[in-house]
Amino acid sequence: MKTLLVLVSWFLLFVLCWPVALLALVLWPLVWLLSLPLRLVGITLDAVFALLRAILFLPARLLR
């Protein structure tokens, strides 16, 4: 459903302002490549916080 919504909105943008739609189509892979390192940092920080949470709650889990 999300893909269909993106496709329909892109076609609507293409009808209304085709240069912006083509620019978005060309720049989207570049934006995706630039956001990859940020995603990796986010995944790493999420894993670190999950590890810290598990370490901090381990005594409570053992005593329960």
Q: Reply yes or no on whether the pLDDT at 57 is more than 90.
A: yes
pLDDT tier, 2 (very low <50, low <70, confident <90, very high otherwise): confident
pLDDT tier, 26 (very low <50, low <70, confident <90, very high otherwise): very high
In this prediction, residue 64 carries a pLDDT of: 83
- For residue 34, count CB atoms less than 10 angstroms from its CB and return exposed for 0-12, middle for 13-18, buried for 19 or more: exposed
Reduced to 3 states, what is the DSSP secondary structure of residue 64?
coil
Q: What is the mean pLDDT of the segment spanning 3-22?
A: 91
Q: Reply yes or no on whether the pLDDT at 29 is more than 90.
A: yes
Q: What is the mean pLDDT of the segment spanning 1-26?
A: 91
